[in-house]
Chains A and B, each alone.
Chain A
């Protein structure tokens, strides 16, 4: 019973390239959340998705960032034209429903380094 799976674990991109981060939720989970942790900072909410729907993207930067959770396949966080400031750990979590009171389980994250 695999947990939340994220890949790649580490990703290096040059400035201006695109980064694609993937998140496969736990089996049976249809709600996905993305968080970002900049160096020496706390995790910050980015986006909440259900299958084929973006529910809340209030934490997403206005430009270059997008997320999707298609009917089939993993959730994708896409960063276009990366800049050094995008270097961070990106964590994904999933749940069976959006309103839970138990906290949720994170994947092991993708560490993006922009050079």
Chain B
């Protein structure tokens, strides 16, 4: 089983739509979780950290369900510029440093 699993998509949505991505992770000892965004042929950029209480940053909401080992990202009022690949990322536990484990990403295409 992969450490981090995501639906690769693509998710095709019109502008203004709400879209949600899910991600599951296998190591229950993981403590830190993130969503990164990666544009085509560019570096991944940190979108937001994910906290147990859930957190929101503008149109983006991230949630963590530790019992189900499940992370989600909700994007409201999608913009064309949201088109990208969204990477679910966990911190590998018990390594003594921030070793990140990346999912393969979910591709989002927002159309006019």
Contact = CB atoms under 8 A, between A and B. Distances in A.
A108 B41 CA distance: 9
Given A101-B32, A101-B49, A45 B101 contact: yes
Given A41-B104, A103-B36, A103-B89, A48 B97 contact: yes
A98 B43 CA distance: 20
A45 B99 contact: yes
B82 to A, nearest CB: 19
Contacts of B100: 35, 43, 45, 103-104
A95 interface: yes
Interface string B31-43: 0101010000111
Given A42-B104, A42-B105, A103-B49, A98 B97 contact: yes
Contacts of A106: 43-45
Interface residues on A, range: 20 to 34
Contacts of B62: none
Contacts of A95: 98
Nearest to B85: A42
B94 to A, nearest CB: 12
A111 B41 CA distance: 9
A26 to B, nearest CB: 14
B87 interface: yes
A55 interface: yes
Interface of B: 4, 32, 34, 36, 41-46, 49, 87, 89, 91-92, 95-105
30 contacts: A31-B97, A33-B99, A35-B100, A40-B104, A41-B104, A42-B104, A43-B44, A43-B100, A43-B102, A45-B92, A45-B99, A56-B95, A56-B96, A89-B41, A98-B96, A98-B98, A99-B97, A99-B98, A101-B32, A101-B91, A102-B46, A102-B49, A103-B46, A104-B46, A104-B98, A104-B100, A105-B46, A106-B44, A106-B45, A108-B43
